[in-house]
Amino acid sequence: MTFEIFLQMFPIALMFSAPIILTALGGLFSERSGIVNIALEGIMMVGAFTGATITVLLENSTPAAAWIGLLGGLLAGIVFSLLHAVASINLKADQVISGTALNILAGGLTVYLCQIIFHQQRTRAFSYGIKKLSVPGLSKIPVLGRMFFDQVYPTFYIAIAMVLLTWFVVYKTPLGLRMRACGEHPQAAASMGINVSKMRYFGVLVSGALGGLGGAVMVLTADIQYTLVSIHGTGFISLASLVFGRWNPFGVLGAGFFFGFSTALSFYAKDIPLLSGLPGEFFYILPYLLTIIALLFFAGKSVGPKAAGQIYESGER
Amino acid sequence: MSNIVEMLHITKDFPGIRANDDITLQVEERSIHALLGENGAGKSTLMSILFGLYQPDAGTIRIRGKEVKVSDPNVATALGIGMVHQHFKLVHNFTVTENIILGMEPRKGLLVDMRTAEQKVEDISKLYGLAVDPRSKIEEISVSMQQRVEILKMLYRDAEILIFDEPTAVLTPQEIHELMQIMRRLVEEGKTILLITHKLKEIKEVADVCSVLRRGKLVGTVPVADTDEERMAEMMVGRQVSFHVQKTLAKPGDVLLRVEGLNVKNQKGVLGVKNLSLSVRAGEILGLCGIDGNGQTELVQAITGLTKVESGRIFLRDIDITHLSIKERSDLGLGHIPEDRQKHGLVLDFTLGENFIIHNYYKEPFAHWGILNKKAILENAQRLIKEFDVRSGQGAITPARAMSGGNQQKAIVAREIDRSPDVFIVVQPTRGLDVGAIEYIHKRIIGERDKNKAILLVSLELDEIMDLSDRIAVIYNGEIVGIVDAAETNENELGLMMSGALHKAQEAAQTGREPAHV
Ligand SMILES: Nc1ncnc2c1ncn2[C@@H]1O[C@H](COP(=O)(O)OP(=O)(O)OP(=O)(O)O)[C@@H](O)[C@H]1O
Ligand SMILES: [Mg+2]
């Protein structure tokens, strides 16, 4: 019986994991280039708002509305993250403060735009978001088929593809090598003729793209409309996944899945005999509790990029 | 032969100081050209200008006869100029090869062609006898290997003109010897070397020509073969320098520092100090010598409280300080000149004056009712600057970062000696100092001894240990392999002990002295 619940739960866990993984990968790019990006939460909100709005507005004219919505979320994330890049790279602002400001801004901005477009504090509900699909053939594999290929959101496959792509870019290409050097020791990178600002722009904008995409994915799979609380801390959970996953794409995959699973658990706990005794609220706080624990245990260890968060002065000795 | 580098009438101003004043430097191709000068004379500045890190306010640069404008290091690289900085610029968790190819990666399609890169690094390393493993991580290799990676970085970019800024300050005597051989090899292969160093012996050993700077001006350029060390020192300081320390016989008193059965783990998590015992008396200098990495760092960090001990005890006078905090130890009278001046010695973004009161900022007269007293801080700074001849552009308000390497060192030494602690742990006190400053600092350390303080001197320089110490303890593999009387030993004996070949019973060294307490 419990195993049946587990099988049912799995695709839901994948659904919750996808945005966390995508956004955490975004954070990976930013931090590897040396810029701490706690604006991921706000970026997700902007992406989610844009994704939902485009879907609502286009769904009567094209069946691909939700997919265009994803793309729109991605682009909106880039534009929004540009603010963080300018503040922390050109203006040399404290990156945590800049990120916090963007998180606050995102809430106000999206609700304001909803008010203008929809005359209410949320977007209109869309009829379909991203649709589930079953992979022909593979979904028939016993057990595994039901876990990964039957009635799942394709966004999870996007997340997996992004993990591989990130790994390839960060560890195998000259671009990745240079970007990581900027996050570890920008003076060394600069002395080798690398343009540190350019690299950091790249990192932050990619984090905007992936965070915006993550936000759009989240609202278009797990929600019916964008509201102020659609993201409810998922950006921070992504940040925790990045720390938990030790700034490594595969680590992020594991951590993201872990958090996705713990979110799914809150929906199924009442059906699992062992857990049904606990109050339901417990499972709602679980992902956040785990986030705090993850940060407590791992944040102190200096495994992250050494220069992340430090302001880079080009002439410094 | 022709001049490959010509720097003509170079002038450079920094806030409050003219670092280079109408300097003309001509460097012959395929030669080793040494640059000598007091701390703050402007050597690093001049070389930074050649490498494009600073722009001169006046003057021109010619490379291979052609006038050039070196607007940034990329231009310098394109001109075939490379520089090994005083502080290395390496990414600690990258491999040797990754550090070298950074910014100029060989590619295979979209990928970094790591195999070709490693092969090329290996080839260059072989050609010049560098013996570097292209696959090791930077954080896992020794300082001297890291320096070779810096050399490889230049060679990989086909640099012809190589600038070394005090390359030997961080090396052991053996490593220095190897570096000298590498430099000769580089010249044989057609390279030209510009070498900044304070060690006259090294200039005598490898350089062809030596240019001397004093307070921003060029004093002269001399062929090394026709000049002796005394003459070079005189040119640079403007007076005669005595290379030997004058001191009277020690009058040791009570034991002030006692270490008993100490075990300390090193960074790798194994015991770096093993069951070590020693003691230092009031009015004596105990020199601790050994090859780098034999437990000196761990011992010092344990005594000063920078790391925790596995077992064993440390007493200051008769107080057990094994588990006290750094500040508590310092308040009890423990002083420390740290090994890594930028990490443990100074706050680089604070001013010189602020750095001087880093221990005492909360005490009278520097603070009154919790508010800093600017006037007292300034007066204190001015006194120390004068006493120790700390040179900088703006005196007490100079940011530590804007000071020359040697003057940063002098600032730390001044601060710590001025506190006159009862127990004084002195590590590499003269690293990066010019001969004049060394002479003065040595005098002051002896002065502390004569004020009945207990001094533990840790240094990689055998000369310094032999000149200053009353007794010498030799550390090998985390253990004291012998303690000898400084007056009765010689370089050979110490060398044998440092390599672990000779153990000298500790009692033997104590005979004829007061009751053994080691
Ligand atoms: N970036 C800077 N800003 C301000 N002043 C500087 C800067 N760099 C150097 N100076 C000043 O210029 C003078 C010359 O410094 P430089 O580093 O060239 O000395 P140096 O000869 O290399 O000395 P050392 O032997 O101690 O390394 C010093 O007084 C220093 O304070
Ligand atoms: Mg210098």
pLDDT per position as a tens digit, A235-264 = 999 999 998 898 999 999 999 999 998 888
Strands (E), B282-321: 284-289, 311-316, 319-320
- Looking at the structure, tell me whether residues B400 and B426 fall in a common domain: no
- Looking at the structure, tell me whether residues B34 and B126 fall in a common domain: yes
Residue of B nearest to A185 (CA): B91
| Mean of per-residue pLDDT scores for chain A | 91
Contact B408, B398 (CB under 8 A): no
Domain ranges of chain A: 2-297
Contact A272, A5 (CB under 8 A): yes
Report DSSP letters for B456-491, one per residue: EEE-S-HHHHHHH-SEEEEEETTEEEEEEEGGG--H
Q: What are the phi and psi torsion angles at B117 (to 5°)? A: -60, -50
Query: Hey, are the CB atoms on A174 and B77 less than 8 Å from each other?
Result: no
Residue B138 belongs to some domain of the structure: yes
Predicted pLDDT of residue A141: 87
Query: Residues 6 or more apart from B286 whose CB is under 8 A from it?
Result: B278, B280, B454, B455, B456, B457, B469, B470, B471, B472, B473
Predicted pLDDT of residue B517: 45
Contact A73, A26 (CB under 8 A): no
Query: Hey, are the CB atoms on B107 and A185 less than 8 Å from each other?
Result: no
Say how many CB pairs under 8 Å bridge A and B: 58
ipTM associated with this complex? 0.90
Using a CB-CB cut-off of 8 Å, the residues of chain B touching A173 are 110-112
Predicted pLDDT of residue A171: 96
Which one of A184, A191, A246, A310 makes the best mutation probe of the B interface by having the most chain B beta carbons within 10 Å? A191
What is the spatial distance between Cα B98 and Cα B73, in angstroms, rounded to a whole number?
19
- Looking at the structure, tell me whether residues B161 and B254 fall in a common domain: no
- Looking at the structure, tell me whether residues B222 and B132 fall in a common domain: yes
Contact B237, B434 (CB under 8 A): yes
| Residue ranges in chain A modelled with pLDDT below 50 | none
Predicted pLDDT of residue B512: 39
Residue B339 belongs to some domain of the structure: no
Predicted pLDDT of residue B86: 75
Residue B141 belongs to some domain of the structure: yes
Residue B215 belongs to some domain of the structure: yes
Predicted pLDDT of residue B5: 95
Residues of A with CB under 8 A from a CB of B: 172-174, 177-178, 180-181, 184-185, 187-189, 191-194, 306, 315-317
- Token output for A50: 């844009």
Contact B60, B23 (CB under 8 A): no
CATH of the domain at B59: 3.40.50.300
Closest ligand 1 atom, residue B409 Cα: 26
Instruction: Please state the domain count of chain B.
Output: 3
CA of B348 to the centre of ligand 1 (A): 14
Pocket test for ligand 1, best of B392, B403, B413 (most atoms within 8 A of CB): B403
pTM: 0.85
Q: What are the phi and psi torsion angles at A242 (to 5°)? A: -65, -45
Query: Hey, are the CB atoms on B91 and A185 less than 8 Å from each other?
Result: yes
Residue B340 belongs to some domain of the structure: no
Contact B433, B406 (CB under 8 A): yes
- Looking at the structure, tell me whether residues B232 and B252 fall in a common domain: no
Enclosing H/E stretch for B369: none
Q: Are strands B161-165 and B454-458 parallel, antiparallel or unpaired?
A: unpaired
Residue B338 belongs to some domain of the structure: no
Query: What torsion do the CA atoms of B70, B74, B78, B82 make, to the nearest 10 degrees?
Result: 90
- Looking at the structure, tell me whether residues B180 and B222 fall in a common domain: yes
| Residue ranges in chain B modelled with pLDDT below 70 | 1, 505-518
Interface of B with A in 423-482 (CB under 8 A): none
What is the spatial distance between Cα B341 and Cα B355, in angstroms, rounded to a whole number?
12
Predicted pLDDT of residue A315: 57
**Which residue range is the domain that position B225 belongs to?**
3-237
- Looking at the structure, tell me whether residues B198 and B250 fall in a common domain: no
Residue B153 belongs to some domain of the structure: yes
Query: Hey, are the CB atoms on B102 and A317 less than 8 Å from each other?
Result: no
The three-class DSSP label of residue B279 is strand
> How far is the alpha carbon of A183 from chain B, nearest alpha carbon, in Å?
10
CA of B41 to the centre of ligand 1 (A): 7
Q: What is the DSSP letter of B148?
A: H
Query: Hey, are the CB atoms on B103 and A178 less than 8 Å from each other?
Result: yes
- Looking at the structure, tell me whether residues B498 and B397 fall in a common domain: no
Using a CB-CB cut-off of 8 Å, the residues of chain B touching A306 are 92
B49 C-beta closer than 6 A to ligand 1: no
pLDDT per position as a tens digit, A168-216 = 999 999 999 999 999 999 999 998 889 999 999 999 999 999 999 999 9
Entry field: residues in chain B? 518
Predicted pLDDT of residue B249: 87
- Looking at the structure, tell me whether residues B174 and B223 fall in a common domain: yes
Enclosing H/E stretch for B240: none
B44 C-beta closer than 6 A to ligand 1: yes
Say how many CA atoms lie within 13 Å of B241 toward its Cβ.
22
B395 C-beta closer than 6 A to ligand 1: no
Show which of B182, B208, B237 is a domain's final residue: B237
CA of B255 to the centre of ligand 2 (A): 39
- Looking at the structure, tell me whether residues B211 and B106 fall in a common domain: yes
- Looking at the structure, tell me whether residues B143 and B169 fall in a common domain: yes
Query: Hey, are the CB atoms on A189 and B93 less than 8 Å from each other?
Result: no
Residue B481 belongs to some domain of the structure: yes
Reported CATH class of domain A2-297? mainly alpha
What is each CA distance from A99 to A82, B43, B109, B137, in whole angstroms? 11, 43, 37, 33
Closest ligand 1 atom, residue B404 Cα: 17
Query: Residues 6 or more apart from B51 whose CB is under 8 A from it?
Result: B70, B73, B76, B81, B83, B163
- Looking at the structure, tell me whether residues B438 and B386 fall in a common domain: no
What is each CA distance from A80 to A19, A96, A204, A233, B91, in whole angstroms? 18, 16, 10, 18, 31
What is each CA distance from B187 to B41, B190, B207, B420, in whole angstroms? 27, 5, 11, 47
What is each CA distance from A155 to A14, A17, A104, A162, B140, in whole angstroms? 9, 10, 27, 10, 41
What is the spatial distance between Cα B281 and Cα B456, in angstroms, rounded to a whole number?
10
What is the spatial distance between Cα B61 and Cα B26, in angstroms, rounded to a whole number?
10
Predicted pLDDT of residue B514: 43
